[in-house]
C-alpha cells in the first residue's frame, strides 16, 4: 500500500472511532424494545468505562496510530478530515478531564437502562 492509501485508511479509522463514540453516548436512544441492540449498547458502554478507567489503549486508537505512521501523517500535514475528526475524538484537554467526564456520562447511560428496566412492561424495555 502507498502512503496515500494509509492516509485514506487513517481517515476511515478515525471516522469509525468518532461513530463509536457517538454510539456509546447516544445509542440508548435507539435501543427501546430492541433487546439485541440494547445488549450491544450496554456492552459498548461497559467497554467505554473500562477503556477510560484502565491503562489500556482502544484498538481503534492503535489502528489510527499505525495507519498515521504508515501514511506519514504528522500534526501539521494532516488532511482536513483527519485534523477535524482528531480534534473531536481527542480534544486538547487532559486525559484526567476526559476520564472524569466520560465515566460519569457512561454511568448515567447505565442509569437510563436501570430506570427502563425498573419500569419495564410485558412488551419490553
pTM: 0.79
Domain coverage including residue 81: 3-118
Q: What confidence tens digit (pLDDT) does each residue in 15-27 have?
A: 999 999 999 999 9
Q: Which cell numbers in the block locate residue 63?
A: 489502528
Name the one residue in this structure whose C-alpha cell is 476511515.
12
66 part of a folded domain: yes
Q: Provide the domain count of the chain.
A: 1
pLDDT per residue as tens digits for the range 49-91: 998 888 888 888 888 888 888 888 764 455 555 666 777 777 8
DSSP-assigned beta bridge partners for residue 18: none
For residue 11, is it within any domain?
yes
Amino acid at each position: 500500500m502507498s502512503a496515500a492509501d494509509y492516509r485514506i485508511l487513517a481517515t476511515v479509522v478515525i471516522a469509525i472511532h468518532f461513530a463509536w463514540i457517538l454510539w456509546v453516548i447516544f445509542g440508548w436512544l435507539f435501543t427501546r424494545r430492541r433487546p439485541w441492540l440494547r445488549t450491544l449498547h450496554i456492552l459498548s458502554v461497559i467497554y467505554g468505562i473500562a477503556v477510560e478507567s484502565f491503562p489500556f489503549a482502544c484498538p481503534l486508537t492503535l489502528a489510527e496510530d499505525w495507519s498515521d505512521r504508515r501514511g506519514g501523517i504528522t500534526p501539521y500535514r494532516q488532511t482536513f478530515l483527519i485534523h477535524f475528526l482528531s480534534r473531536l475524538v481527542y480534544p486538547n484537554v487532559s486525559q484526567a478531564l476526559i476520564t472524569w467526564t466520560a465515566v460519569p456520562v457512561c454511568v448515567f447511560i447505565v442509569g437510563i437502562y436501570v430506570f427502563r428496566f425498573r419500569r419495564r412492561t410485558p412488551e419490553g424495555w
